[in-house]
Amino acid sequence: MFVSQEPVVDLKKASIPLIESWKDEFREIRQDFHRNPEIGLDTPRTSGKIAGFLRSYGVDEVHENIGGCGVVGVVYGSSKEGPSLGVRADIDALPMKEMSDHDHVSCLGNRMHGCGHDGHGTTLLAVAKYFAQTRNFAGKAVLIFQPGEEGWSGAKVMMDDGLFERFPVQEIYAYHTASALRPGELALNYGAMQAAADAFTLTITGKGGHGSRPENCNDPIVAAAYIITALQTLVSRNVSPLDSAVVSCGSIHSGDPLAQSVIPNSCQIVGTTRTFKPETRDLIEKRLKEVAESTAAAFGCTAVLDYDRKYPPLINSEEQAKPIADVGAELVGEENVKRNYPRATGGEDFAFMAGAVPGAYIRVGQGGAPAHNGYFDFNDEIIPLAASLLVKTLEKRFKDLAG
């Protein structure tokens, strides 16, 4: 069964009262986003709504169309002089079918907010509204609404369009809702949070012919079978047992199901790799190529590797991770902050931002169905807590950095 949605603390008491008083307003916004999911980098409705809300809150600068549908809101503190600190929320949905029957289900059959990014964007709107009303800091809060997290490298797309040149920030923060934790629980670590997620395609070419006369052929299917088996040794024999990595083949294709007596000319294997260290990532790519090429050669075939480095590993910096954990402990109690939370083999494109600017990424518990499951729904109850966590962390850092 799913993790309980019963909070471990009184969420109302744990949150900033002003933000808590906006709970219904932000629930409505979140559920509107949920009903109207948009995929990938193409999020015009969501982005337009976000820009409109930011203007209505009195956010000082609202910039649209950064890397396509990206939006940036800048709130000035009581004084503009001071550091600039960033918070990023992803806003895109997934190409999947919603299974629930609550009153805010997706209005599109094959798209849904199955990862909670509807809630992340809404939380950052609450942060914007609070900062615009209170301005209890010196400096600038840079609030980044980013499409295309689910495989489109949206963070990189915004950065390639000059995000940090136009809006330089000293530090950057983000959160992700977590179904594995109960509402009121927070989790992070001071190092690798998420893996590098890469994709590979191996094209094995042999010599096709009649299935009854294999001696005249170089069978790419047999070569592919040995390659897939040999790839299992990358993690078991090449990566240190004290490190970790994943190599998974997700697709193999060759020949035609109707052609039982045809040895095909080629075979394609598609897969993913996950690593946490740059040197392990290099090792896996190198060994994948060597093992595939030399195994193919043993069968008179060739293998060509196309290795696509998608998302780098997401590494928290202790200098930012510790303060957000400390603020979290003030809100929900030290016993509900997991500071040594295990890293996950999923990818996350906030890694591009946290690779360019020191930052921290934290998980905020919500319970319920896991992300990317058809029954998943962002838990609106955690919006005030998540927004309070981000607000208080930035307010603290504005002070810390001012010396």
Minimum distance between the CB of residue 40 and Zn ion, rounded to whole angstroms?
12
For Zn ion, the closer CB: 19 or 39? 39
Our measurement of the distance from residue 17's CA atom to the centroid of its chain's CA atoms, rounded to an integer in Å, reads 30
CA torsion angle for 377, 114, 370, 346 (degrees, to 10)?
Answer: -150
Rounded to whole angstroms, how far apart are CA atoms 325 and 328?
A: 5
For Zn ion, the closer CB: 149 or 395? 149
Minimum distance between the CB of residue 105 and Zn ion, rounded to whole angstroms?
18
Nearest C-alpha neighbor of 143 from the set 132, 156, 157? 132
Alpha helices in 299-377 (DSSP H): 318-332, 350-356
Q: Which stretch binds Zn ion (CB under 5 A): 25-33, 111-119, 241-249, 329-337?
A: 111-119
Residue nearest to Zn ion (CB): 115
176 in a labelled binding site: yes
Number of residues near Zn ion (by CB under 5 A): 1
115 in a labelled binding site: yes
Which of the residues are catalytic? 92, 149
Minimum distance between the CB of residue 314 and Zn ion, rounded to whole angstroms?
12
Q: Which stretch binds Zn ion (CB under 5 A): 109-117, 193-201, 320-328, 384-392?
A: 109-117
Residue 14 found at the interface with Zn ion (CB under 5 A): no
Q: Regarding beta strands 196-205 and 266-275, do their DSSP bridges make them parallel or antiparallel, or are they unpaired?
A: antiparallel
Any residues with CB less than 8 A from the CB of 289 and at least 6 apart, and which?
Answer: 305, 307
Residue 301 found at the interface with Zn ion (CB under 5 A): no
Q: Which stretch binds Zn ion (CB under 5 A): 114-122, 127-135, 217-225, 285-293?
A: 114-122
Residue 115 found at the interface with Zn ion (CB under 5 A): yes
Nearest C-alpha neighbor of 73 from the set 98, 101, 93, 53? 53
For Zn ion, the closer CB: 195 or 296? 195
Strands (E), 258-345: 262-263, 266-275, 302-311, 314-315, 337-338
CB crowding 375-384: b at 16 or more within 10 Å, else e: ebbbbbbbbb
Minimum distance between the CB of residue 110 and Zn ion, rounded to whole angstroms?
16
Residues contributing to the site for Zn ion (CB under 5 A): 115
As annotated, the binding site for Mn(2+) includes: 115, 117, 150, 176, 372
